[in-house]
A and B are shown apart, each in its own frame.
Chain A
Amino acid sequence: MLVPILKQGDYLIASIQSSLADADLIRLRDQLVEQVGRYRSRGVIVDVTVLDVMDSFAVRTLSTLAQMIMLRGAETVIVGVQPDVAFAMVQLGLTLDNVKTALDLEEGLLYLNSRAKRGRSGAG
């Protein structure tokens, strides 16, 4: 299952379309890391709205994704975690602590934009 990655200005947006097997998720991670480097993107949004389960593997992979992307100077936002999925995740102890989360794509973009603004005014 291929995950489309959309380049929008400084950001990359990956919208997961269906349940992913481990190999698909790893591929998504590697592609995003590679493209962040190639396009010098400032932010990455991974939309997980359609995922009906996030287990330890998914969470671990998304965490390393965020770390690898941070090393390349960009920030990752996970958007669209469903209430039921979040509920199961916290009971498993999977809290995705080191990654920024937002309600949906719109909120994710708002967050990245506000970061960019703050970043500029901070530097200037």
Chain B
Amino acid sequence: MPAERRIKIASDVDIVAARQSGREVAAILSFSSSDLTVIAAAISELARNIYAYAGTGEIVVSLEERNGRRGVRVVARDDGPGVADIALALEDGYSTSGSLGLGLPGVRRLMDEFEIQSEPGKGTVVTLWKWAR
């Protein structure tokens, strides 16, 4: 499955573009409309974090197949400051910017699989999967 979209995140407008691209890629599979919205919402949160904490980065949305299930994979990557304390960042309500602190834990609830790699000073990579039903 070749469909892949790569969206540079450098301004607030790119956040809208990223979630629309994600929706388009995912729509190739048999996702329900609510799943498409869920995927778009998750991408929106990750793009937002890139823009807010790293300034720039990218979102890559692609289709993936594993064990006969088809799904969409979202990778959010930046070379920003990294997440200081990953465990804390995954807790509801934890925010270093005085925001709601719901982005990362919420994204984790929205999607089927969630991975985060981050080291202070070395940037952040968040990878998400959602499988079509």
Which one of B69-77, B78-86, B98-106 is at the interface?
B98-106
Does A57 count as interface, using CB distance less than 8 angstroms?
yes
Instruction: Mark A33-73 against chain B: 1 for CB-CB distance below 8 A, else 0.
Output: 00000000000000000001111110110000000000000
Tell me the interface secondary structure of chain A in the complex: helix
Tell me the interface secondary structure of chain B in the complex: helix
Q: Is the CB of B12 within 8 A of A92?
A: no
Q: Is the CB of B110 within 8 A of A22?
A: no
Does A5 count as interface, using CB distance less than 8 angstroms?
no
Q: Is the CB of B34 within 8 A of A53?
A: no
User: How many A-B contacts are there with CB distance less than 8 Å?
Assistant: 73
> Closest CB of chain A to B95's CB: distance in Å?
10
Across the interface, A53 reaches (CB within 8 A) one of B13, B37, B106, namely B37
Interface size of A by CB at 8 A reads 24
Q: Is the CB of B40 within 8 A of A53?
A: yes
Q: Is the CB of A94 within 8 A of B102?
A: yes
| Residues A55 and B16 in contact in the complex (CB < 8 Å), given A88-B37, A93-B106 | no
Q: How large is the interface on B (under 10, 10 to 19, 20 to 34, 35 or more residues)?
A: 20 to 34
Of all chain A residues, which has the CB nearest B95?
A56
Interface centre among B12, B40, B41, B102 (most CB of A within 10 A): B41
Does A19 count as interface, using CB distance less than 8 angstroms?
yes
Q: Is the CB of B12 within 8 A of A55?
A: no
Does B67 count as interface, using CB distance less than 8 angstroms?
no
> Closest CB of chain B to A75's CB: distance in Å?
23
Q: Is the CB of A92 within 8 A of B110?
A: yes
Q: Kindly state the separation between the CA atoms of A53 and B48 in the bound complex, as whole angstroms.
A: 13
Q: Is the CB of B34 within 8 A of A56?
A: no
Does A123 count as interface, using CB distance less than 8 angstroms?
no
Q: Give B residues with C-beta under 8 Å from A.
A: 12-13, 15-16, 19-20, 23, 33-34, 36-38, 40-41, 44-45, 48, 92, 99-100, 102-103, 105-107, 109-110
Q: Give A residues with C-beta under 8 Å from B.
A: 19-23, 52-57, 59-60, 82-85, 87-89, 91-94
